[in-house]
């Protein structure tokens, strides 16, 4: 037994595209379930083993917990050491947390799971799954229009959420708002809850729906299927990649862009292992095997290159809320085959 046993008071099986994760908590009402769209949560699936199991123990519940023993027994991986010092991932910090893992089962002992569950655990598991199944894990939004898939990529503030919202309100099928798994040219959507701010689009919804606060100050959690009524698709065949770079209201640029530019951009701003700083985690998952790490890194880059070479690529820098701009973008995404 690698962990201290705890009483499971709530549990859910969540489905993120092809990945199933069972989440168990000693909290009677685990707040972290709100980060997943409600239609993809099931309580029990007898006889079907999940891909991963997350056991999340709030050390402020029950106890007292032997924190000194957990500190001595936590994973000696890069992430295990960092979490025990209160650093979870990128800009997420807090009280010391203790990570213990065995195969596909993980235990985390912490005071607060808001900056751990989505900011680290889910990103890590999606990346591990993608690596083990020959997929790509990308930070990207995705939709399907007229049966054709489109990836929306761009750094924070580039306009992904606004364009996604506008397209889905006009009938596009929702695939993903943040994470996408690519298997060949098939986009497996990860329809998770969204983080939204009080802007022209979402302020009325925040006020009218009583949305809960998200991890970061000023952001709220919204279920796009339940709260907005979007229609979703499980997967789609990729046809188009849009590199979003919205800068100011007066600019309107919707044009083709070179694939080398898209590759260099996506390698840094879309590949999950780079965007989320997970290279140490993947190397530890591979047992420190540098040769295996090199092979996988090469496969990922080659897969990204092939994905881009087989897609139509556009640079989009305009206000997607403008009706004319939206028509032009939608025409590119759902237009006739070349």
Over residues 218-229, mean pLDDT? 82
The DSSP code sequence of 206-227 is HHHHTPEE-SSTTEEEE-TTTT
pLDDT of 126 over the 70 cut: yes
* Cα–Cα distance measured from residue 162 to residue 182, given in angstroms and rounded to the nearest whole number: 23
Decide: 326 and 170 in contact? Cβ < 8 Å: yes
pLDDT of 212 over the 80 cut: no
Contact residues for 147 (Cβ-Cβ < 8 A; gap 6+) = 236, 237
**The predicted structure's pLDDT at residue 40:** 64
pLDDT band at residue 208 under the 50/70/90 scheme: low
Domain segments of the chain as ranges: 10-132, 136-191+232-334
* Cα–Cα distance measured from residue 24 to residue 6, given in angstroms and rounded to the nearest whole number: 10
* Cα–Cα distance measured from residue 110 to residue 88, given in angstroms and rounded to the nearest whole number: 11
The DSSP letter of residue 38 is G
**Token pair 């969540």 in the structure block, residue:** 14
* Cα–Cα distance measured from residue 192 to residue 174, given in angstroms and rounded to the nearest whole number: 10
* Cα–Cα distance measured from residue 267 to residue 298, given in angstroms and rounded to the nearest whole number: 12
pLDDT digit string, tens, across residues 136-178: 999 999 999 988 999 999 998 888 988 999 999 899 999 999 9
pLDDT of 92 over the 80 cut: yes
pLDDT digit string, tens, across residues 52-80: 999 999 999 998 999 999 999 999 999 99
**The predicted structure's pLDDT at residue 214:** 63
Q: What sections of the chain are H helices per DSSP?
A: 67-73, 78-84, 123-132, 160-169, 203-209, 259-269, 272-275, 279-285, 290-309, 323-334
pLDDT digit string, tens, across residues 5-46: 899 999 999 999 999 999 999 999 998 998 888 766 666 556
pLDDT of 293 over the 90 cut: yes
* Cα–Cα distance measured from residue 264 to residue 224, given in angstroms and rounded to the nearest whole number: 31
């Amino acid at each position: 037994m690698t962990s201290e046993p705890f009483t499971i008071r709530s549990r859910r099986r969540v489905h993120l595209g092809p990945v199933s994760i069972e989440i168990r908590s000693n909290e009677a009402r685990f707040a972290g379930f709100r980060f997943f769209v409600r239609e993809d949560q099931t309580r029990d699936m007898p006889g079907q083993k999940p891909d991963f199991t997350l056991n999340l123990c709030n050390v402020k519940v029950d106890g007292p917990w032997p924190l000194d023993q957990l500190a001595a027994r936590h994973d000696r991986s890069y992430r295990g050491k960092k979490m025990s010092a209160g650093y979870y991932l990128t800009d997420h910090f807090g009280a010391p947390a203790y990570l213990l893992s065995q195969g596909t089962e993980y235990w985390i002992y912490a005071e607060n799971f808001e900056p751990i569950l989505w900011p680290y655990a889910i990103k890590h598991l999606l990346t591990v799954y993608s690596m083990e199944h020959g997929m790509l894990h990308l930070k990207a939004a995705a939709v399907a229009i007229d049966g054709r898939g489109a990836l929306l990529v761009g750094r924070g503030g580039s306009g992904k959420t606004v364009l996604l919202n506008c397209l889905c309100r006009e009938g596009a099928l929702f695939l993903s708002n943040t994470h996408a798994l690519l298997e060949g040219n098939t986009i497996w959507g990860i329809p998770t809850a969204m983080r939204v701010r009080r802007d022209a689009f979402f302020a009325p919804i925040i006020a009218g729906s009583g949305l809960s606060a998200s991890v970061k100050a000023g952001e709220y959690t919204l279920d796009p299927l339940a709260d907005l009524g979007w229609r979703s698709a499980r997967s789609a065949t990729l046809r188009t990649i849009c590199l979003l770079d919205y800068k100011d209201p007066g600019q309107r640029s919707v044009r083709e862009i070179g694939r080398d530019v898209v590759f260099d951009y996506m390698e840094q701003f879309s590949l999950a292992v780079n965007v989320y700083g997970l290279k140490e985690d993947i190397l530890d998952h591979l047992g420190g095997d540098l040769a295996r790490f090199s092979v996988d890194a090469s496969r990922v880059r080659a897969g990204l290159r092939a994905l881009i070479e087989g897609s139509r690529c556009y640079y989009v820098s305009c206000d997607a809320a403008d009706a004319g701009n939206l028509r032009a973008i939608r025409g590119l995404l759902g237009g006739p085959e070349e």
